Chains A and B, each alone.
Chain A
């Protein structure tokens, strides 16, 4: 691992650790309103100032980071599982199943990701409790984000189907689910891990896009998307640079993810 990747790993671990310690670092929580000091600049009490209803921005950044960084991997897990179900199985079964799965994947890939995501999220209930909105947002990301991974997995599984060791396993009498779970799936692991890790930054950015458009996590619960929405009220960078803190943190974390994923994985 080179220095840049070590540094990136350290940044991601540090940000995760700090966000997990949000309860201790910001014990008053993300929803407490300091009504006497709305729109306050940074101070000893509020390191990143307060928002227009007096909520501590630093606390919101901590809790928002925690939500985004914990739930993006959960969404990535859903999408990777679906990719195995559609792409991996179809590649293993081959024939008509592979053609059907590729057609279905092509259908999803022929729609621009943002168009699909925004449309589907907007169609789902928006006036729900914050916790439900978090679950809906990341579930939608997981359910819609499988297509690209499924395409990669179907190609890999298709290649494995005709490999010597699978033919030998078949000749030995192995077939059906046992052959898939014992011999095919373990050999797909490297591709699966790569697809899982690639999906995480994609889902973090997608959630941020939804949040800025008002389709993400509902108030008062923070996420990177809802925190970035605050940029709408930004007058100028010079007068209120602290409002850019969530964006800068997002850039730092995303850059770290980019460095962590090797070139081969990113371009896969």
Chain B
């Protein structure tokens, strides 16, 4: 079967502009489809969380109704204020209408606008998850590259043992240990994420190093650094960029137990509080936000791969 690239190479120069236009159209169509799929997933994610909260036992109960100082009218008013949440589709449509106008609703549990809550808490999560992710990549990638560059058993054993141990400790236990040892929360996030980075990077690099042309390059006397930069990274690079996108989601997930147990007032802690108090507006917003960040991170990795290696896309 003749490949698409081979066919393109056989085209005459006069045909090329038409081909380029067609390629551009295909690319634009792909981007549009990707964006459409992303939007659909984000919307469905929000609807899914709204449905889950609505179906959760105890959704109707409101602690404020137990306040003996409130009279029957006030209790009735409280119930009326949540009446709109009972029909999930109309609630969700209303939420989307409000979101388009910048109104994300009011948190029932915390009594504050969701927008204000998110804007005051996201810097904490950005620091905890961001610095943690950066440290995790520094540690994981350094160990993986060291093991591949200096192919000595000691590096391999050290990396595998350390990552193996941290892979076996629950994220929440690492968060607790960071509290006991009085270490910052981002360190716990780093230790949760780094084993995954090390294992996957190590596997990808090992597969790339096992290719015949790398052996040939080594036989011809090329230095290890040159082999890594010119022959291994171009093969393993795109997968590592994709891994970077996935680790954003892992770090975000890890920040929930870390923030909840370390008492850090970030988005993770907010998600924890929202779930416990069945706070519908807050939980829907957080689900949409988390889904959006995860999808953007993965799409960002795809875009980066396309920019770096457009012919492989």
Contact = CB atoms under 8 A, between A and B. Distances in A.
Contacts of A125: 57-58
Contact of A112 (B173, B175, B250, B283): B250
Given A110-B295, A205-B170, A231 B252 contact: no
A112 B249 contact: yes
A107 B180 contact: no
A24 interface: no
Interface residues of B, number: 48
B184 interface: no
B164 A258 contact: yes
Contacts of A205: 168, 170-171
Interface stretch (A34-42, A47-55, A113-121): A113-121
A263 interface: yes
Interface string B144-168: 0000000000000000000011011
Contacts of B138: none
Contact of B256 (A103, A107, A114, A208): A114
A68 B111 CA distance: 39
Contacts of B261: 212-213
A124 B278 CA distance: 10
Contact of B177 (A107, A123, A231): A231
Interface in A90-111: 103, 106-107, 110-111
Interface residues of A, number: 38
A115 B290 contact: yes
Contacts, number: 120
Interface residues of chain B: helix, strand, loop or mixed (majority): helix
23 contacts: A106-B41, A111-B45, A112-B250, A112-B253, A112-B294, A114-B171, A118-B256, A119-B49, A120-B52, A123-B275, A123-B278, A125-B58, A205-B168, A208-B172, A212-B170, A213-B272, A231-B173, A247-B169, A247-B173, A250-B170, A263-B203, A266-B199, A267-B200
B56 A124 contact: yes
A228 B203 contact: no
B257 interface: yes
A255 B271 contact: no
A114 B254 CA distance: 7
Given A213-B261, A231-B173, A255 B53 contact: no
A254 interface: yes
- Most B-side CB within 10 Å, residue of A110, A212, A250: A110
B248 to A, nearest CB: 9
Interface string B217-259: 0000000000000000000000000000000011011101100
Interface in A200-217: 205-206, 208-209, 212-213
